[in-house]
């Protein structure tokens, strides 16, 4: 069955298990909102590309048990405005590609096990209002490009 007309997908706050289904980000081109938070999902977060989800503006994976690294392909989602990937078990660094999410208003990556430095080009997210990286294992200086984020609250 084709789900090409689906715009909203809400399954947050349940007891769902297994991995996050990659088909959500491959066969639903009109997907606008995808809420998967507060479940028991494990494994990696699938790659999510603007090629397959060009209209995606809101995504959440918060309060799950996802492991692996942040999907680098999120950086292709120039229409993404709200991204909640906090309180998981993600490791690795914040991809430099995330500077491509130029429409972002809220980005929450807190309460994971992210390491490395904050990307120098993170200031490209000029419209960002809320940016939470707390409770990780990040090191190094705060990039000077953060001063370009005029809307941070």
pLDDT, tens digit (0-9, with 9 covering 90-100), for 71-107 = 999 999 999 999 999 999 999 999 999 999 999 999 9
| Residue 113 counted as domain residue | yes
Give the chain's mean pLDDT. 95
CA gyration radius, the chain: 15
Task: Please give the C-alpha separations between residue 144 and each of 101, 124, 147, in angstroms, as whole numbers.
Answer: 18, 11, 6
Q: What is the pLDDT of residue 27?
A: 77
Please tell me the total count of domains within the chain.
Answer: 1
| Residue 28 counted as domain residue | yes
| Residue 153 counted as domain residue | no
Contact 102, 127 (CB under 8 A): yes
| Residue 130 counted as domain residue | yes
Tell me the CATH number at 39. 3.80.10.10
| Residue 117 counted as domain residue | yes
Q: Is the pLDDT of residue 130 over 80?
A: yes
CA-to-CA distance for 116 and 59, rounded, in angstroms? 24
| Residue 3 counted as domain residue | no
pLDDT confidence tier of residue 1, bands split at 50, 70 and 90: low
pTM > 0.85: yes or no: yes
pLDDT confidence tier of residue 24, bands split at 50, 70 and 90: confident
What domain range is 62 assigned to? 8-148
Residue 63: both structure tokens together: 């309060």
Q: What is the pLDDT of residue 49?
A: 87
| Residue 1 counted as domain residue | no
| Residue 2 counted as domain residue | no
Q: What is the pLDDT of residue 146?
A: 94
């Amino acid at each position: 069955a084709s789900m090409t007309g689906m715009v909203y997908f809400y399954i947050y706050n349940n007891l769902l298990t297994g991995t996050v289904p990659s088909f959500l980000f491959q066969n639903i081109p009109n997907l606008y909102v995808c809420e998967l938070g507060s479940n028991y999902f494990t494994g990696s977060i699938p790659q999510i590309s603007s090629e397959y989800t060009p209209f995606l503006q809101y995504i959440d994976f918060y309060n799950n048990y996802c492991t692996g690294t942040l999907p680098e392909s999120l950086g292709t989602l120039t229409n993404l405005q709200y991204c909640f990937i906090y309180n998981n078990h993600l490791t690795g660094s914040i991809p430099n590609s995330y500077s491509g999410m130029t429409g972002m208003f809220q980005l929450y990556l807190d309460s994971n096990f992210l390491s490395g430095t904050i990307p120098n080009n993170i200031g490209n997210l000029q419209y960002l209002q809320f940016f939470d990286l707390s409770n990780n294992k990040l090191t190094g200086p705060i990039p000077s490009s953060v001063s370009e984020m005029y809307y941070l609250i």
